[in-house]
Amino acid sequence: MSIRPELLFFPCGFLLIGYAIPIVLGFMWMRVDADRSGQPGILWAALTIPFGWLAILVYVVVRAVRPASPQR
């Protein structure tokens, strides 16, 4: 029994869209934005590894309800 290549497209596409993109966003956008607002950016970025989109959603909510700290 062999696996047809076209059946691998969906799981690979889901992995890319559901996991790889949040990690890239987390390390690029969240880290810089959190550092700029006075929060621990590397911690927020690291949370995207196990939690993916959920970490980004939580960061956006926290960012919206928490006032920005003054620049250091």
Q: What is the DSSP letter of 71?
A: P
Q: What is the DSSP letter of 70?
A: P
Q: Across the chain, how many H-helices and E-strands are there? A: 5, 0
Q: What are the pLDDT digits (tens) for 6-61?
A: 666 677 777 777 778 778 888 889 889 999 988 898 898 888 888 888 888 999 99
Q: Among 9, 6, 42, which residue's Cα sits nearest to residue 26?
A: 42
Pair 41, 33: CB distance under 8 Å: yes
Q: How many CB atoms lie within 10 A of CB 60?
A: 12
**In the structure encoding, which two tokens stand for residue 7, read together?**
């059946």
To the question of pTM greater than 0.75 for the whole model, the response is: no
